[in-house]
Amino acid sequence: MEFCTVETASGKVRGLISSGIRQFKGVPYGAGTGGQLRFRRPQPPLSWTGVRDCFAPGAVSPQTPYDRDNDYARLIQYDLNVAFGGMGEDCLHLCIWTPGTGRQDKRPVLVSVHGGGFAIGSGNHPMYDGAKLAQTGDVVVVSVTHRLASFGFLNLADVDPSGDWAESGVAGMLDLVAALEWVRDNIAQFGGDPGSVTVFGQSGGGWKTSTLLSMPRVRGLLHRAGIQSGSLTTHVPREAAAAVAHAFLRHLGLTAATLGRIREMPWSDLLAAQTAVGAPLFAPIIDGVHIDAEPLSERALARFDHVPLIVSTTLDDAGLFFTQFDMTMDDLERQLLARYGEAAKTLTMLYRDHSPDKSPYLLHAQMMTDSGFRRFAHAQAEAKAARGGAPVYTYLWEWASPAFDGRFGAVHAMDVSASFHNERDAILGAGSHEARRMCRELAAVWVAFARTGDPNNALIAHWPHFDPTERATLVLDRENRIEKNPYGKQREFWLGMPAALSVLG
């Protein structure tokens, strides 16, 4: 067994070397967040003497494990979110993969922000393992854990405006800012270039990346960004977040007058309350200080005009929400008629005529994707392009997962493992020839983008940047290609319809 040691600002850390990649897991970028530090901005990690072994991931933010009886959860192995590192409030940790250490190397850095909305998930999940991407791309890969749900986004500022809780509704986002500041200050020692940092995330990771791109303090901490099936267009209203906080406190038996006791309670009580209220209801607010604008506002967009962006979706993203795999066309037509009235006939023809061999379940999944995920992605790409600053590129993942007999199609999160070149994951076909090809192509996109801000490389067709007229999009399927305005008629249909799925799920 080979080891390697690196000096950080807090002390020395020791990692393992495997297949030429230095791996450091459970590296603290902040102090524990329990007790009197609960709901406050993150504090720097406590320094240590000697050498700290970083061989295994650290704890993740407390959360209820995903239901293993859900087919989609098993497809992406989401029950493993809490399987590595356990749970607890000492959850501000990084995992780092690098081909070599030393300040002279200056490799591009890719920082992964995990999915799961603002409520669940873990940077320790195997889908975010950065070893293969670091090895094949000669880059440094970093994954992050941070506070989630009530621990990171409980709006107590509007319950007690005294100022003691001012950062409670944005604490989880401040964790991510602290992680990027740690990268700026320490990543050179791990062979990375602090002046070439790409932040990217899928689903909730995209929401968080969208939010980071609206935070004043983040300017200068990232130089490129990627948002995969997670374009956030608006933040949760403060009034709604306050209502969730009041419901949460009622479950704990607290009021505004007894609020201080919340820092003395065990975290398991908080987890039980957030589970009862509904963990997905917790999300960051515009607090006016750390988050001062909506993601697509002129203020936020202007702040990051210089940052190139990739925005993407998968064809059947919304399939994660549905389980009616045996749906018939009659079933689909009845659902559409109940929801959209006479427009249902046009909707059915648009999709069935374009994809006559697609199952009713997948037609429905694509429709709901177009009405929500894809509409928000289009809006984000259009807003970025309209600024005329650094370019935005869009891709559409169409390759269908072979797992579960292919019934999920090109479902949500399919492109995560491919982004990390993790072709062994079941969602891609567990090391099949096609899985390896899809991984090579998408991982090459991220490596090229991280190096230069331009994702073009020898493995894909020439990919023009997006503009609202041509709408050039990289389509990733059995053969990658560039399409102008893919599914344009379907996109135009949804412009006049209400979104079936809200931005925050």
Q: What is the pLDDT of residues 265-279, one digit of tens each?
A: 999 999 999 999 999
Strand partners, 6: 13
| 8 A C-beta contact, residue 383 and residue 409 | no
Give the confidence band of 496 by pLDDT, cuts at 50, 70, 90: confident
Q: What residue spans in the chain does CATH classification 3.40.50.1820 cover?
A: 2-228+282-307
242 versus 405: the higher-pLDDT residue is 242
Q: How confident is the model at residue 501 (pLDDT cuts 50, 70, 90)?
A: low
Return the higher-pLDDT residue of 389 and 71.
389
> What 8-state DSSP symbol labels residue 477?
S
Distance (Å, whole) CA 470 – CA 447: 25
Q: Can you say how many angstroms the Cα of residue 457 is from the centroid of all Cα atoms in its chain?
A: 24
| Rounded Cα gap, residues 296 and 134, in angstroms | 32
* Locus of tokens 């306050």: 242
Which of 100, 102, 75, 111 lies closest to 446, judged by CA?
Answer: 111
Percentage of residues of the chain with pLDDT beyond 70: 99
CA nearest neighbour of 180 among 222, 140, 208:
222
Nearest Cα to Cα of residue 442 among 227, 133, 196: 133
Spatial contact of 67 and 112, defined as CB atoms under 8 Å apart: no
Q: Strands of 203-314 (E only): list them.
A: 224-228, 309-314
The per-residue pLDDT for range 320-334, each reduced to its tens digit, is 999 999 999 999 999
C-beta separation of 395 from 474 below 8 A: yes
Short-list 140, 20, 126, CA closest to 83:
126
Confidence of residue 425 (pLDDT cuts 50, 70, 90): confident
pLDDT attached to residue 15: 98
Closest CA to 385 of 311, 491, 462, 466: 466
pLDDT tens per residue across span 428-473: 888 789 999 999 999 999 999 999 999 999 999 999 999 999 999 9
What is d(CA 28, CA 471) in angstroms, rounded to the nearest whole number?
42
CB-CB neighbours of 430 under 10 Å:
12
Pair type for strands 392-397 and 309-314: parallel
CA dist., res. 160 & res. 132, Å (int): 48
The residue with tokens 């344009």 is 488
Query: Within 13 A of 149's CA, how many CA atoms are on the CB side?
Result: 25
The CATH number of 2-228+282-307 is 3.40.50.1820
pTM: 0.96
